[in-house]
Amino acid sequence: MDILIKPIVTEKMTDQSEKLNRYGFVVDKNANKVEIKQAVEELYDVSVTSVNTMRYAGKSKVRFTKSGVQSGRTSAFKKAIVTIAEGEAIDFYSNI
């Protein structure tokens, strides 16, 4: 579970999961595609056909508050889009 940090549950990823069998995850920055594939297959008991990864740089953010201007930075992360085999599905809401 140290490779997969959290699933991405947005409107766009939900639409892709219904139409194209693709699911998104925020993963460890140092994880490669083979490790991501093994982690998803082990955790969700599905067969993965492909893994696409992308790295996002952190952004600088500025807020204007009563005490003045607050500037900070969001953290960088790595995202993986996992395509699973036809007929299989991952249910993120099963343990709620």
User: Tokens in use for 42?
Assistant: 């082990």
Q: Where are the domains of the chain?
A: 4-84
DSSP state of 3: S
How much is the pLDDT for 1?
62
Tell me the CATH number of domain 4-84, given options 1.10.150.120, 3.40.50.300, 3.40.50.2300, 3.30.70.330. Answer: 3.30.70.330
How much is the pLDDT for 33?
96
How much is the pLDDT for 91?
85
Cα(30)–Cα(56) distance, rounded to whole angstroms? 13
The predicted-structure confidence for 41-95, as pLDDT tens digits, reads as follows 999 999 999 999 999 999 999 999 999 999 999 999 999 999 999 999 888 777 6
For residue 7, with 0-12 CB atoms within 10 Å meaning exposed, 13-18 middle and 19 or more buried, which class applies? middle
- The mean per-residue pLDDT over the stretch 11-16 comes to 94
State pTM to two decimals. 0.85
